[in-house]
Structure 1
């Protein structure tokens, strides 16, 4: 009976629940990738007590990267125009509180095109010739107020800068969060091990134990997904009919790690993209095996008077 109880305590029960999901499930059921941490334990131990923790950490600093491309017929023209566009933008951006900027040179390459050499009695000849230059730079903007990103977009778009490459999230509290997760997980895993002792009616004090743990940090830029939501009619057309399909809009959305597979979650409610820190600890316990009982035979002597006497026979040679 004890073995049955122990087996049941190691099972993970999955519940099905209904919830509003938006347009993401309009056409097809979306299968989310499992990003939950899973620390491997190379052991064939009798019992493994495992605890997973998740912390949703709000960023306290951001870095947005915008890409700028400029072309021109000469190097002087390219540099002059791109410096003017970037300079005017940064002049306004730097007026914002708590903002730092950096301009990163990316590429500066010549551009080529083809001219056609026409001859009367021969094929056309295409000659590649230089026609100008292309210069690319990235603007890095560090800020602490996430609402400022809209202001940056307006300022940059006024100077024909539209390409937001990415936004990186940073937090100064990650080390503190890691320690908090480890302390909470330690208490829970000890509680689980104690519960197994009660179920089995034994102690693990002298049992062999091994431990494994690990952290995983997931940034918001890694967790954006896309989908298309639309409704199209089914047509019964002839084999050679021409069908011109409209371009469907693609939606991007933030999909954080779902907290359903964790033993505890710090800051479970997510309103905005956050840094997600996972921690898992596993304890493998190899129980002490009890020695098998000796199969000793008992010899009984019946006396002439009918009495029974036990005989102690020595098996040593």
Structure 2
């Protein structure tokens, strides 16, 4: 009985741990990518050879953009208030190592509200009247240490600046990475071409070829997804019953491009969000046999003495 209980416990724990590795994202079936190979048969006249590569590039620097809004009764008041918040924040931020800042003007507009005009024998009239001004600015912060972002958030929040618009990732090595990917793809496509030649017992040296290639760069800001992790309650209620739904927490997570469909990968292991560069090259090889042009007919005249003579005949005139 004890052995049976231990066996049951091991099975239960193994099922539980596999569920934990899967993650809560699978509650909503986020991963629906195709899991089987599906290739199209090459056309009768040609072969398409494809090589795809992926590079995970760590950023060299980052730019965080924070937005702030200030409202005041006069233009002077609104400018003084927002400049005070910005200058105090930037004074502390600039004490950090390798930090560059920039303030971007966004908008400066009047703010209106409705004033009710009451009349004795008619309906109320609502008139828009100016009550002040609204000024919006963005603070751009460039930094190289990703851990500094927490410090910036702490400093800015002390001055009522909470809106982190986005974080841009910048790499100075993208050009060299692209060249490396092209070189790797060139070697692989040559290897694939030789392999096809061996399999088919042919040579593609003199065959007609067409080639195309392209890059795609995916930034981390484009690669975030969301889901709601919860388990619904099922009750057998009447249609007239009032049900109050609770607000579900939405989770955001970084979802990089999967590395399972590529012929080569540069820096396959990633921990933090990275810039992902995809490269694909395609070569079409035309295997259609070239038709040998037909030559003009040759006429031979046999003389009475038995000699053979070649006759030159103008076939163009014969067609006419």
| 1:222 alignment partner in structure 2 | 222
User: Counterpart of 1:67 in 2: which secondary structure?
Assistant: strand
> Is contact 1:45-1:284 (8 Å) kept?
no
Q: CA deviation at 1:234?
A: 1.2
For structure 1, list consecutive stretches of 5 or more residues without a partner in the other structure.
1-16, 35-42, 293-317
| 1:168 alignment partner in structure 2 | 168
Distance 2:102 2:269 in 1: 34
Distance 2:121 2:33 in 1: 63
Distance 1:80 1:114 in 2: 27
| 1:59 alignment partner in structure 2 | 59
Distance 2:110 2:64 in 1: 28
Structure-2-length-normalised TM-score: 0.80
Q: CA deviation at 1:241?
A: 2.1
- Structure 1 segments of 4 or more deviating over 6 A? none
User: Counterpart of 2:226 in 1: which secondary structure?
Assistant: strand
TM-align CA RMSD: 2.2
| 2:130 alignment partner in structure 1 | 130
Distance 2:289 2:173 in 1: 46
2:168 is the counterpart of 1:196: no
Q: CA deviation at 1:18?
A: 9.6
Distance 1:33 1:147 in 2: 33
Q: How many aligned positions are there?
A: 268
Q: CA deviation at 1:120?
A: 2.1
Q: CA deviation at 1:109?
A: 0.5
Distance 1:120 1:33 in 2: 69
For structure 2, list consecutive stretches of 5 or more residues without a partner in the other structure.
1-17, 35-42, 293-320
Q: Tell me: CA distance 1:196–1:71, structure 2 relative to 1, closer, same or farther (3 Å).
A: same
Higher helix share: 2
Q: CA deviation at 1:291?
A: 6.3
Q: CA deviation at 1:112?
A: 0.5
Structure-1-length-normalised TM-score: 0.80
Distance 1:111 1:140 in 2: 26
Q: CA deviation at 1:238?
A: 2.5
> Is contact 1:111-1:133 (8 Å) kept?
yes
User: Counterpart of 1:154 in 2: which secondary structure?
Assistant: helix
User: Counterpart of 1:101 in 2: which secondary structure?
Assistant: strand
| 1:151 alignment partner in structure 2 | 151
Distance 1:205 1:101 in 2: 57
| 1:23 alignment partner in structure 2 | 24
> Is contact 2:67-2:137 (8 Å) kept?
yes
| 1:69 alignment partner in structure 2 | 69
> Is contact 2:45-2:288 (8 Å) kept?
no
